[in-house]
Structure 1
Amino acid sequence: MSSYDELIAFERETQALSQISGRLGWDQETVMPRGAAAQRGEEMAALEGVLHARRASPRVAELLEHAEAPDDAGAAQLRNIRRAYDRAVKVPAALASRIARVTSEAQGKWAQARADEDVAAFLPVLSEVVAMKREEAQALAADGDPYDALIEDYEQGTTSGEIAKIFDAMRPGLVDLRARVLDQQRPAALRGAFDEDLQMALAGKIAEAFGYDLRHGRVDKAVHPFSSGSGLDVRITTRTNVDDPFNCLYSTIHEVGHAAYEQNIDRAFLLTSIGRGVSMGVHESQSRIYENQIGRSRAFTGWLFREMTETFGDIGVQSAEAFYAAVNSVQNGYIRTESDELQYNLHIMLRFDLERALMQGDLMVEDLEAAWNDRFHADFGYEVDRPSNGCLQDVHWSVGLFGYFPTYSLGNVYAGCLHEALRQDVTDLDTQLSVGDTSGATGWLRQNLQKFGSLREPQDTIAHAAGRSPDHGPLMRYLEAKFSDIYKL
């Protein structure tokens, strides 16, 4: 066996163990007994210790030194394995295990604090998580920016400075468009009580309409919707609210975007370093284009309106056009995941600035709630009414995902570029979407982006699919055109 073949065989075992770790996380969020949290933390820590030892194994370094890539895919394999090795050897094994254990336990404490509206109950464990992530960031960064080192885990090749420039360029246009939209009359909202079992049944139908393969997946419920897994086992969760069916339906479409990316990667890459989505920004480009440019389009919502009325009867709006306006309503709200396309990125910019300050030591954990509330009032013009609508609304910080939030907006930027190219190539897209047929859009994404997994670096992945280097121009043009049309600006 050549050094390359031996390295790939070793990597397949590492990837398989990583999938098991992910499955434990899925179980914890869906069906695990609440009382099992402490034991699950120990299990996750033990498995992380094994994974860290494999990624930092001297044998990996030896094989990398002698391995020769047989082709472009092989070169990408070596690049990604080397990146994982370089990162692993910088982080002490004890720290990696401790982070896995504490964040597993912190997840349950966050969920309870959120339910109890009790920030103080969450702050001690959050302080511990932040301290460990700072330690990890310093180990990874050496003399560089610690927050940049964490971003590298989710969007390799991108720095916080580059992200800040994109956000600074987008913010004035978003704020101006929001002001013009909010000056107009709000569209009529849906009315009624929407049975949660019927919501889940319709969510399953929509998931299949977007190409989610339920032979290799499943849909469950969780406090915070997410997607988990890759290859032959990719699971999603959603949530229901009897007063708000859009929460369930569009969370489902969003997570199907993530899941479809993983399911559609070339099976030859299964359980290898290139057999996963290349970055969280590219991943978000898939979930956001599924949810927004496709799922909230006038054409698709025309089909969804008919499905909704057949499922629930009178929903409070009487036409497909009124339904389209309701789906895309811009209004005040606290929750990022329920935000309209126009205001969503402002929620991300708030989180980006706060977590960057936390990691750089410019913001202390005990001051986080006040900082969040002050920033929210400055950005949105009204006060946070309770912690679950403020700094306790997201799961990310409890599980140590610092550096993750900005990838949501990068995903929106990427989705804007992809949507512009998709429209140029699939000229009858709206005709297809109007009858609930997403195959033209999802097939284009599969062939141009999804099947390649991590073969290319993130921005090269988008450039290959969209035929242009990514920038925020297409997204801003899309938002301006869409909401000017809906609100007759």
Structure 2
Amino acid sequence: MTAFDDLMAFTRDTVALGEIAGRMGWDQETVMPRGAAPQRGEEMAAIEAVLHARRSDPRVGDWLATAVAPDAAGAAQLREIRRSYERTVKIPADLATRLAQVTSVAQGKWAAARAAEDIAAFLPVLEEVVALKREEGAALAAGGPLYDAMLEDYEPGTSAAEIAAIFDAMRPRLVALRAAILERPDPAALSGYYPAETQLRMTHELATVFGYDLSRGRIDKAVHPFSSGSGNDVRITTRTNEDDPFNCIYSTIHETGHACYEQNIDQAYLLTALGRGVSMGVHESQSRIYENQLGRSRAFTGWLFGQMTEAYGDIGVGDAEAFYAAANRVHPGYIRTEADEVQYNLHIMLRFDLERALMAGDLQVADLEAAWNDRFLRDFGYAVDKPSNGVLQDVHWSVGLFGYFPTYALGNVYAGCLHAALRQAVPDLDTQLAAGDTAAATGWLRDNLQRHGSLYEPREIITRASGAAPTEAPLMDYLEAKFGALYGL
């Protein structure tokens, strides 16, 4: 056995244990008994202690020092293992354990506080999470910006300054487009009653239409839709609203994009450092292109209109064109996951600025709700009415995912680049989508991006797939063309 072989064998077991920890997280958000939360916190802390010990094992450093990669894929394996090792050894084991325990408890307290509209019940544990994340950030940053160090966990190779520059370029065009749209008549919305069981049946059909392999996955309900797992066990969740079927439909398609990315990674990379999506921004590009450029396209919604009327009868709109307009309505709303394409990134910009301020110590947890509400009123023009529509709506901060939010907007930027290339590669795309056939689109994404896993760096894989370095221009051009036509601008 060479040093490379020893390292790969050790890493395989570590990755497998990480998958088990991920499955425990999925269980906690779907079927775990509510009273099990304190025990689950201890269990998560215990497995995190084992994982931290393995990821920081001195032998990993020794193997990395002498291992010789047999090929390009092997070199990428070493790159990813080295990145993880160098970050892990900077974090004290007791800090990693405390973070796992506190965030596990915080997740349950967030869900309860959200249901009760009781922000005060959540703030004390959030204070603990923020303090621990600041401590972790300081250990990782080694004197540099804390937030940049956190971004490395989700989008390696980028910085807050680079993200801010992209956001600064997008904001004026987004604001102008939104203002022009809101002066136009609002398209009719769907109406009627949509039983949860019918919605859930349709979610399985839609996930299959977009290529999700249910023999290696499953769909459950959760407070906050998410995707979990990799390789041959990739699970998604959705949620239902019996007055609004779009919530379930597009949450499902969104999470299917994430899940298909993981299912379609080359099986040769299973349970290795390459056997996962390369970054959250790239991951989000898959969920967003599935949900929006494909799932909300005029062609696909034409097919979906037929499925909806067959399932529910009268849905309040009379034809496919009205259904397309309803699926793409730009309208006031509080919830990020339900936001239209025009306003979605403005929700992300709000969170990006607030969490940077929290990590820098410029904003305290006690002042977070007021800061959120003030910023929301300034950005959207109306006041937050309750905590579940404001600072309590997202799970991310409760589980310590600081640095994650901006990757949603980066995913939109990347999706814009990929969509432009996909349109050139599949000129009859609309004809296929109008028949409910996504195979050419999802196949192109699989072959050009998904199968590679973490073989390439984030911006490199987008550049390779789209043929140009990523910028916000294709996304903004797409939004202005789509919504300009839709609203007669």
Mind listing any 5+ residue stretches in structure 1 that lack a counterpart?
none
**1:306-365 Cα distance to aligned partner (Å, 9 max, x none):** 000000000000100000000000000000000000000000000000000000000000
Partners of 2:143 and 2:33 in 1: CA distance: 43
User: Aligned ranges for residues 72-221 of structure 1 at < 5 Å?
Assistant: 72-221=72-221
Check if 1:445 corresponds to 2:445. Answer: yes
Give the C-alpha shift of residue 112 in structure 1: 0.5
Q: Which amino acid aligns with 1:194?
A: Y
Partners of 1:386 and 1:39 in 2: CA distance: 31
**1:253-312 Cα distance to aligned partner (Å, 9 max, x none):** 000000000000000000000000000000000000000000000000000000000000
Partners of 2:92 and 2:143 in 1: CA distance: 17
Runs in 1 of length 4+ with deviation above 2 angstroms?
Answer: none
Partners of 1:320 and 1:193 in 2: CA distance: 19
Give the C-alpha shift of residue 136 in structure 1: 0.0
Quote the residue 1:28 is aligned against. Answer: 28
SS in 2 for 1:398: helix
Partners of 1:189 and 1:336 in 2: CA distance: 19
Partners of 1:398 and 1:45 in 2: CA distance: 16
Quote the residue 1:241 is aligned against. Answer: 241
**1:406-458 Cα distance to aligned partner (Å, 9 max, x none):** 00000000000000000000011000000100001000000000000000000
User: How many corresponding residue pairs?
Assistant: 489
Partners of 2:259 and 2:170 in 1: CA distance: 28
Quote the residue 1:357 is aligned against. Answer: 357
Partners of 1:101 and 1:304 in 2: CA distance: 43
User: Aligned ranges for residues 42-441 of structure 1 at < 5 Å?
Assistant: 42-441=42-441
Q: Which amino acid aligns with 1:332?
A: P
Give the C-alpha shift of residue 108 in structure 1: 0.5
SS in 1 for 2:234: strand
Partners of 1:143 and 1:390 in 2: CA distance: 33
Partners of 1:468 and 1:238 in 2: CA distance: 34
Identity %: 72
Partners of 2:269 and 2:374 in 1: CA distance: 47
SS in 1 for 2:229: strand
SS in 2 for 1:90: coil
SS in 2 for 1:175: helix
Partners of 1:472 and 1:234 in 2: CA distance: 30
Quote the residue 2:17 is aligned against. Answer: 17
Q: Which amino acid aligns with 2:364?
A: M
Give the C-alpha shift of residue 63 in structure 1: 0.5
Partners of 2:394 and 2:222 in 1: CA distance: 13
Give the C-alpha shift of residue 143 in structure 1: 1.2
Q: Which amino acid aligns with 1:43?
A: E
SS in 1 for 2:68: coil
Quote the residue 1:40 is aligned against. Answer: 40
Partners of 2:136 and 2:5 in 1: CA distance: 32
Quote the residue 1:481 is aligned against. Answer: 481
SS in 1 for 2:89: helix
Partners of 1:335 and 1:416 in 2: CA distance: 22
TM-score of the aligned structures, taking structure 2 as reference length: 1.00
Partners of 1:45 and 1:185 in 2: CA distance: 53
